[in-house]
Chain A
Amino acid sequence: MTPRVVIVDDHAPFRSLARRLLGAGGFSVVGEAADGAGALAVVRDLTPDVVLLDVQLPGPDGFAVAEVLAREPDAPVVVLVSSRALLDYGSRVAASTARGFIAKADLSGETLQDVIRGPGRPVPCSG
């Protein structure tokens, strides 16, 4: 089964491109949201396997949203994305509930796949 992905980002052109990139890279993008509240609603509605979550969101940032999503039943794997670099966030990404981090410019089906697998972490099996 292709993993089902929800993209959360307030920049619409990015969502549109990411949808096509991931679609071409073996993922099925099932939904989009522009902020934390929208993300929670979409995740509850669609129970995706993966949430691609922008760190800089209007309102609560990606770290806060990731924490909320982690408490959901059937919590999805959260992968943070940002136009900033991983180093810009210091240890915050490691300390967060997210599976990993991808710099936006590096986004592709492959990089997402790598992060989801993670070192020693099994890919969640979707129903």
Chain B
Amino acid sequence: MVADDAALFRAGISRLLADAGFDVTAQVGDAAALLDAVDRDPPDAVVVDIRMPPTHTTEGLDAARVLAERHPGTGVLVLSAHVEPHYAMRLVESGASGTGYLLKERVADAGELADAVRRVAAGGVVIDPGVVAQLVGRRRVHDPLASLSEREREVLAVMAEGRSNQAICERLFLSPKTVEAYVHNVFTKLDLHQAADTNRRVLAVLAHLRA
């Protein structure tokens, strides 16, 4: 299900997703229509623009929160033009599983969009690499990340994007054991508690990066 007020963009996304093997069950132009459509026929995942009528501010985020309460089984991927960790955090903080924050320009890569939709549909968390890069790249006076090795920092970044250990293995071409060791090191060095699931892990890492 795709919600975006720009019809052309909406159609483009639907086309990309259909090409990637998804069944696009509905296309709507605003948050109210989206909620109605989901209520009628809850899909596995929703792709929603952050800015929609009437105020063109954060309707997408608000819809995501409502959906998380009403339809915990539906993943919500919010598309945004802004590299703002604040929005990403608001999504993750709502505690819902299956949420994501992706920059609109990522849709240029159909594979990336499809991957993100699959992950939120499966209850995972997706944080745009650009947002993570900004957090990791932030200049700090006493940078806790300075204690990490370059590899550990890469692992941290991929974790922050919401990837599971398995995904980290594939991304960085590492063995599961090595990844586990890196993840452990990162958490120890940053003085973070190992979280029970990926979502809480993302939240912990993001919160730490924003602090």
A–B touching in complex (CB under 8 Å): no
Enumerate chain A interface residues (CB-CB to B < 8 A): none
